[in-house]
Structure formats: structure tokens, C-alpha cells
Structure 1
Amino acid sequence: MVYVLIYMGLYLLYSIPTLQKVKRLDRNMSVEERDGIVHDLPKRWSRGIMKRTGSNVHIKGQEAIPAGPVLFVANHSGDFDVPVLLGSIPKPFGFISKMEVKKLPIISGWMEMISCIFIDRKNRRQAVLSIREGGMVLKNGHSLLIFPEGTRNKGGALKEFKTGGIRMAKDAGVPIVPVVIQGTADMFEKQRRGIKPCDIYVEVLPSLSSAYVADKDVKELSIEVQGIIQAALDEMRIAA
């Protein structure tokens, strides 16, 4: 675990000149081109983290991700979910993060550059504003990832999906792409100390079109997406 933390810290320091460069990118550049450049280093950093844990990440279904902005919706198994997904999903995306992370130097700068949204779940008014901000990020052509459980389930049963994040897809008129991740809790949360190398599985499921999302009630949509992810998780566990 110490080795992984040292790598993370040193790489962040190494990334400072690149962070300054991406902040100066031409604003007239297309969203797709800009995101490809900005996300390159965070993706390499994420893959480096997973390599140093000794774990292997297996992904399938990524070829069916729609073009254009999408809202990825995933279960939240453990702390390593974000680097696993950042490093393995080919489409660049930002994600929803708790407000406390905004205080971290360098990493918060990178998160702002990849269009992450910071949310204070204890402050309802601020949380609503963050959801609106996320909707604008999607409308502007960037993709986002949410964990609608809110907190890690640590490899246990799925927690009830909150509707706020899913509402962003409906408001922005973008597809929802369910994503299932399994194994990160076995690697870290379920260990008494340190990290245990594991096989981690990611499956990108068929998307729900923007037209379908637009016609659905947000609560019904949230329940449906949770059911899709739960069914896929059950299949993974049976196969294992």
C-alpha cells in the first residue's frame, strides 16, 4: 500500500508542468480533441496505480459506448473504483466527487480540468446547484460518471440509488450507460491491512438512449438502472 501511495504522490508532482499546459489549451478546440488531450495523463496515472497494486483489470462491452456525451452510472464497490474506470473506459469522463477532495492540491486541479463536479451532500442547496452544474457539463459535450449509491458498498449489497445524479442525463438529453465493477473491495476494503492483488472485472452494459431517458420518470429510471446493474452483478458472481 505504501508503494502505491508513494507512486501516486510522486506522479502528481511530476504532472504539474503538464497541468499548467492543459490549462492553456486553445478554447476553440473541439470538446472531443480537448478531452482526449486533458485525460491522457490522468488515464496513464490510473493505469499505473492499478499496475502497482498487482491487480488485473478485465473490461468488456466498451465497444458499444455511444458517441458524444453520456452519463456513466456505476455501482460503488471500493476506493479503487475511480482509477479502475478512468484507466479502462476509453471515453474520457469526469465524475462526481465529495467536496472535501477539492481541498487537495494538484489532484483537485486535475479534477477540475477533466470536468469533475464537487458536491456537498450535507448541504441540500449546494447539492442541487452541483447537479445543475453537472447537467451543463453534459450539455457542453463532456461525459460524466456517477455512483448513485453515494458511498461504497464494500462489495456487499447494492444501496438504493439516489435520483439526483441520474436526473442530469434527463435534463441534458444524453444516454445513460450502466457500468458494473466487481473486485475492488476484495482487493482493498475486505483486507485487514494493505492490498491484495485481485482480478477486477468491468462490464459496460447496453446504453439507454437519450430518447428513452427523456420519456422516463427519474425515480422509475433510477430503479430500472439499479435493476440492470444488480442483474449483471448477479451474473458475474454466478460465473465466478
Structure 2
Amino acid sequence: MKTKLIYLYAIIITTLTLPKLKQAQKLPNDNYEIKGQAIYKTPESISRRVIKKTGTAVTVHGLEKIPEGPVLFASNHQGLFDILLLLGYINRPIGFIAKKEIKKFPIIRSWMKELQCVFIDRSNRRAAIKVIEDGVNSLTLGQSMVIFPEGTRSKGGPIVPFKSGSLRLGTRAGVPIVPITINGTYLMLEANNGKMKAANVSLTVGEPLMPEDYRDLKSQKIADIVFERVESHLNR
């Protein structure tokens, strides 16, 4: 019953954002950093409210390490609530590389479009090139992006080695790559056979990999460095 009530709560408060969504859609994209700052407070608030409704306690470390300007966040991926955790607690506008299936949800899809999110069809390898191009464009516009280089949810298991291809968003755009370590979100849902429960969750920002640090490195070496920085904070 609790799980159904939380889903219903999320649907209701998301639907109530329609007036703000329409306002966001009218804002020009010519200076996206200004637009992003104007609109991200709504998704941030919704995400925090849903997480709070589950009874979960969130601890955040290292926000001061995030450089100014657009960055590529590279995070491990434990569960469904990772996206809400990042939206709610990174404290800046972010977009995601997201599965195309999310397009089935009209209001969420529209908010994600305004946040410069990029949708990927995992069954179409050729589409991956377009995804990288769109992600680089979002970063160039001034929007920070989030990727999950594992390519799948670990659901509390060992962190999966990072795929180097997804980090090209950062290297091609020439932006800092910021490691993010998420602990505990799988305990909110995946560990309970789909039933929502309260948990203690943490989000830790690691040392960023700056463009001058990775400029002469091969893609796999960059992926390995970011992986190590994410893993170093796991389950601490």
C-alpha cells in the first residue's frame, strides 16, 4: 500500500507542475545557463519531496568540489531512485542520457526536454553516435549532464567497470568530468521486490578530472580513472 501511495503522490505533484512547465517552454534557449537556473528548481523540489515521502535520509558530501560552468557527472547506478537523488541534491541544473522508454510519460518527457536530456535507443547502435552529438551540444549550451557509465543498474551488487564511450561527451565538449558515488538507493526499491522502503542514502562528489588532466589520455584510461574515483567512496 505504501508503494502505491508514493507512486500516486509522485504522479499528482508532477501533474501540478504543468503551469510551471508551460512557463519553462516559453523561455528562450539562446542563453541556456540562465534558462537552466530558472527552471531546475521545480524538478529539484519534486525529486526531494518524493524521496522524503519514502522516509529516506539523504547525506551529501563534496558539493564544493564541483567546478563552475557545465560539467559531465559520471555516476555509479544502483537503482531507480538515482535520478531523483541527483536531480534533488546536486544543487545545479542537470540533464541525463535516458532510455527512450521514458518518452511514454508526457509531463516527465517534457521536463526532460527542457533540461536538455538526451534519449537513447539501446537497440540501435547507430543511434549512439547521435546521442553523443546531442549530449555534447547540451554541454556546449551550458547544461551539465549526467551519465551512468556502467550501462546498467547494479542493484547493490559490485560496481561494473565503466564503458569508455559514454565519457566522450565530456572529452569532446572539453568539460570537467566529475565522479559521483551513490550509496544505498537500491535499498529503497530494488532490494525489496519492488516495494518502497526508507533507507539511508549518500551522494559523494569525488575529485574532478579536468580537461588539462585528460587531454593526452586514451579513452579507456580516462574511464579507469573515473571508475577508481567513484569506487573509492563506495560503501564508506
For 2:199, the equivalent position in structure 1 comes to 198
Return the alpha-carbon distance in structure 2 between the equivalents of residues 193 and 169 of structure 1: 34
Structure 2 matches for 1:170-209, cutoff 5 A? 170-192=171-193, 194-209=195-210
For 1:117, the equivalent position in structure 2 comes to 118
AA in 2 matched with 1:52: K
TM-score by length of 1: 0.94
TM-score by length of 2: 0.95
Deviations along 1:201-228, one digit per CA (max 9) or x if unpaired, are 1101111112212222111111111122
Task: Report which stretch shifted further, 104-113 or 19-28.
Answer: 19-28
Q: Any gaps of 5 or more consecutive residues in structure 1?
A: none
For 1:219, the equivalent position in structure 2 comes to 220
Check conservation: 2:33, 2:141, Cα contact below 8 A.
no
Return the alpha-carbon distance in structure 2 between the equivalents of residues 95 and 216 of structure 1: 25
For 1:152, the equivalent position in structure 2 comes to 153
Q: Any gaps of 5 or more consecutive residues in structure 2?
A: none
Q: Secondary structure of the equivalent of 2:215?
A: helix
Check conservation: 1:178, 1:204, Cα contact below 8 A.
yes
Matched, 1:3 2:5: yes
For 1:134, the equivalent position in structure 2 comes to 135
Identity of matched residues, %: 38
Return the alpha-carbon distance in structure 2 between the equivalents of residues 106 and 4 of structure 1: 18
For 1:33, the equivalent position in structure 2 comes to 34
Return the alpha-carbon distance in structure 1 between the equivalents of residues 154 and 139 of structure 2: 27
Q: Secondary structure of the equivalent of 1:21?
A: helix
AA in 2 matched with 1:9: I
AA in 2 matched with 1:47: R
Return the alpha-carbon distance in structure 1 between the equivalents of residues 220 and 179 of structure 2: 16
Calculate the aligned-residue CA RMSD, in Å. 1.2
Q: How many pairs does the alignment contain?
A: 234
AA in 2 matched with 1:12: T
Shift in Å at residue 193 of structure 1?
A: 5.0
AA in 1 matched with 2:161: E
Counterparts in 2 of 1:175 and 1:55: CA distance versus 1, 3 Å: same
Q: Secondary structure of the equivalent of 1:73?
A: strand
Return the alpha-carbon distance in structure 2 between the equivalents of residues 156 and 232 of structure 1: 15
Return the alpha-carbon distance in structure 2 between the equivalents of residues 44 and 93 of structure 1: 14
Return the alpha-carbon distance in structure 2 between the equivalents of residues 103 and 134 of structure 1: 21
Q: 2:17 aligns with which of 15, 18, 23?
A: 15
Q: Secondary structure of the equivalent of 1:97?
A: strand
Return the alpha-carbon distance in structure 1 between the equivalents of residues 193 and 109 of structure 2: 29
